[in-house]
Structure 1
């Protein structure tokens, strides 16, 4: 126990992840309050419809970031002199693409297919949906740009203003016209706009951000890096955004209200592994010895978080959902299953970090894309048994992925998964005998396909080294 506590205290990954998680706790906590207030001010059907629309907004908006946010973290550190030009071009591309794609999708869904409710079937609703997507795409890029510029305080400020503003606007909407799904969506959009204004107000030279943005030419030569990050980022988040839309369509918006809020609560546990993965890549790039040490800490923390989440949901899940109303209580079993999925999901997140450190960005993109498709497929197949079936299918998919991804994670952590006759010892470039063990494990697990960086230096392409 003392060794574990010492490792946790000395872990740079844990410290970095804790800083990121602090922002998540603030925004997610206020986000849960947002849905709790909405549940009290309107019907579960309106809450479910709004949740499906916001999930669609986040999905399309995340797609329209094109990996530019992750790219900016590396680029701003490499060439800070051109920060304004690169950031403004990234914001312009994501905003315009988000608006155009969202408006086209809303017009097709509402105008041609007649689905989606008021947000899609009227021109005002289609415009509102498109503005929401454009805002989400732009702020997603902006948040990571602030992190890359070492302005995490402003990133926290933006998210805090966003969470507080949208929460404060809900009672206003209820008093003015009754709280409908469209009003809930509009409050979300208004919070986004106000949060960007708060960041501009804190800028030392806000006028430079109000000039016409740089064109896409400012991003020339960066497409390959952005594409790899884009596939990983969108694929990893797609299931949590697509499944609520499936539940609202296949089952009922009332069912989706409970399922969506269960996802929000379980997200507190999932966020731990996501931030651990981000921090692990940031501090371990090019240092496989540190990767091995920090990966062990991340795995232990993920296990503890999952155990606490499952135990807490079993004891308090029904009570927590019951606060929102009796219509939300049937989602309690799904909440426990979603918390249980946080451990295999952590293996997936750590697998992404390991692949990035080892220079295997393409492998990570393909694996995560296939795994996310499996999560959506099995979750949708379980819909015939209600929201509990959806959560069961999702959990099964994450377990199957973890089983496939675990060997690479275990090899990077230094675990020997299969014994073989010892080889004559060879000296490693680093002089550390433990690195030879990690190389042997990598060979045991993945054969000639895996080039473990502890056994021989990985040849990382330029785009991965700067990612």
Structure 2
């Protein structure tokens, strides 16, 4: 089995991307468990609120550069490769810093629950997230997901080690969580930038030159990939922000733990979708049913475990987390099925450059999820976010079915034999002779 996976590029890179996420999630789970047991829910909630806002800021500001990397890096010579990566990282991080500054000024004025935001902490966390995310895409572009795996594992382990050190130094508020969460990310990113480029592309060297030349390519990525990415990842990143705004930091702590637990399922289809897209960017002839089968094989067991024993798993944090997030977790487990359908559909259409269809699908799901979440949160509590997420994914899966049926009908019509056309009619005079 291991030899078969190692020899299959799609399976190998999908597994490595998933392993990276599983390792990060597992250690992240331990990180938040330690935080929940050593800090008050208000402190954990305030920290998760800032991290959630930083995630949204990073998502808004990466400008589709990651998918641009997947498209352009595989065939690029060393000099061009260096310019693409350097320019993409600089533009993405600069845009993130500007957006984070604006968020730190505007959000506390819009909602009192965001008074916990700290400007410098938000900027630092968001920039670290953008740099880390874009570097992951560099590894995916080269089908070298093992580098991504070890980098993210070191990052997550660093957070777990840093938290008791910070709390042992006397910090017991949200700052302790933020320092332990952000400092390892910065350290691992610096090491990655120093070591990895030359290993991925011989002769590569990151510089600040060629930035103006890359602006044109980033602008093109913004109008295609970035809009799709925003609509696709936006709801997941915004849900903790909406929970904080409507219900407060303590409720967000319960939501965030349940969401983080369910993410072990939500990471599978995006991992396979990224590997699937990278394979097609390398001119690979990978069929969609094969990718779908890989997703189903991986999520089946964990989904059953989370649905049956979710309360006990959340209880590892405390009984209040189990009581507050148990129902939400079950709803999110069910939502993993339509989520997988829509993620693979977007990757398939993206590889065919059907960007408008990808955008329309993601916009329908995002709008459904966010509007219903905002309406339902005050009355239903944090479970409203899960119900709205499920509704959005279900609407998306229905649209995939509609689009697929329409394409099949179009294909059948286009394949009808053309030799059945009526022969040209003869002039009347000739016909009467």
- Identify which of 339, 346, 350 aligns with 1:345: 339
Match of 1:400 among 381, 395, 402: 395
Aligned to 2:366: 372
* 1:41 pairs with one of 26, 38, 42: 38
CA contact (8 A) 1:64 1:98 kept: yes
Alpha-carbon offset, residue 287 of structure 1: 7.8
Name the CA distance, whole Å, in 2 between partners of 1:9 and 1:208. Answer: 27
**Structure label with greater radius of gyration:** 2
TM-score (norm: length of structure 1): 0.79
**Superimposed CA distance per residue, residues 216-273 of structure 1 (whole angstroms, 9 cap, x where no aligned partner):** 3234345223431111222211111111111122123222212111111111111111
Give how far 1:14 is off. Answer: 3.1
Query: Paired residue for 1:237?
Result: 233
Please say if residues 44 and 327 of structure 1, whose CA atoms lie closer than 8 Å, have aligned partners that are also in contact: no
Q: Using the TM superposition, give the Cα deviation of residue 126 of structure 1 relative to its aligned residue in structure 2, in angstroms.
A: 0.7
Judge conservation of contact 2:111–2:245 (CA < 8 Å) in 1: no
Residues 374-453 of structure 1: pairs in structure 2 closer than 5 A: 374-383=368-377, 384-408=379-403, 411=404, 442-444=407-409
Report the Cα distance in structure 1 between the residues aligned to 2:399 and 2:221, rounded to whole angstroms.
26
Hey, what's the Cα distance between the residues in 2 that align with 1:104 and 1:175? 33
Q: Which deviates more, 141-150 or 337-346?
A: 141-150
The answer as to 2:175 corresponding to 1:182 is yes
Q: From 164, 169, 174, give the equivalent of 2:162.
A: 169
- 1:137 and 1:221, CA in 2 relative to 1: closer, same or farther beyond 3 A? closer
Question: 1:166 touches 1:191 (CA, 8 Å); kept in 2?
Answer: yes
Q: 1:42 to 1:446 in 2, by over 3 A?
A: farther
User: Deviation per CA, 1:177-233, whole angstroms, max 9, x where unpaired?
Assistant: 333222212222211111113214535879986754542323434522343111122
Equivalent residue, structure 2, for 1:84: 82
Q: 1:281 aligns with which of 277, 287, 292?
A: 277
Runs of at least 5 residues in structure 1 that lack an aligned partner in the other structure: 1-6, 120-124, 412-416, 418-440, 456-467
Alignment counterpart, residue 153 of structure 2, candidates 160, 168, 183: 160
> Mapping of 1:299-338 within 5 angstroms?
299-305=292-298, 307-330=300-323, 331-338=325-332
Do the aligned partners of residues 279 and 180 (structure 1) sit closer, same or farther apart at CA in structure 2, a change above 3 Å counting? same
C-alpha distance in 1 between matches for 2:44 and 2:63: 30
Contact 1:31–1:163 (Cα < 8 Å) also in 2: yes
1:413-434 Cα deviation digits (max 9, x unpaired): xxxx6xxxxxxxxxxxxxxxxx
How far 1:354 moved relative to its partner? 2.0
1:69-148 alignment, distance < 5 Å: 69-81=66-78, 82-110=80-108, 115-119=113-117, 125-148=118-141
Tell me how far apart the structure 1 counterparts of residues 70 and 160 of structure 2 sit (CA, whole Å): 30
User: Scaled by the length of structure 2, what TM-score is found?
Assistant: 0.85
Distance between the aligned counterparts of 2:409 and 2:33, measured in 1?
A: 50
Change (3 A) 1:115 1:15: same
Does the 8 A contact of 2:16 with 2:145 survive in 1? no
Equivalenced residue count is 407
Contact persistence 1:244–1:256 (CA under 8 A): yes
CA gap of 1:335–1:213, structure 2 versus 1, over 3 A, is: farther
Which consecutive residues of structure 2, in runs of 5 or more, have no partner in the other structure?
Answer: 418-433
Contact 2:88 2:218 in 1 (8 A): no
CA deviation digits over 1:136-156, x for unaligned, max 9?
112211221233345433322
Q: Say if 2:47 is the partner of 1:65.
A: no
Tell me what 2:426 maps to: none
Aligned to 1:25: 22
1:463 — aligned with what? none
Higher mean C-alpha displacement, 220-229 vs 172-181: 220-229
Contact 1:317/1:336, CA 8 A, preserved across alignment: yes
Moved over 6 A (4+): 7-11, 204-208, 445-448
Q: Cα deviations across residues 341-372 of structure 1 (Å, max 9, x unaligned)?
A: 01101111011022123321122123212321
Report the Cα offset of residue 447 of structure 1: 9.3
Contact 1:68 1:141 in 2 (8 A): yes
Distance (Å, rounded) in 1 between the aligned partners of 2:19 and 2:26:
11
Contact 1:318-1:332 at 8 Å conserved across structures = yes
> Distance between the aligned counterparts of 1:78 and 1:210, measured in 2?
17
Distance 1:305 1:353, change over 3 A: same
Report the alpha carbon displacement of residue 280 of structure 1 after superposing the two structures with TM: 2.3
Matched, 1:254 2:250: yes
1:76·1:149 contact (CA, 8 Å) conserved in 2? yes
CA distance in structure 1 between the aligned counterparts of 2:5 and 2:20, rounded to whole angstroms: 20
1:77 aligns to what SS in structure 2?
A: coil
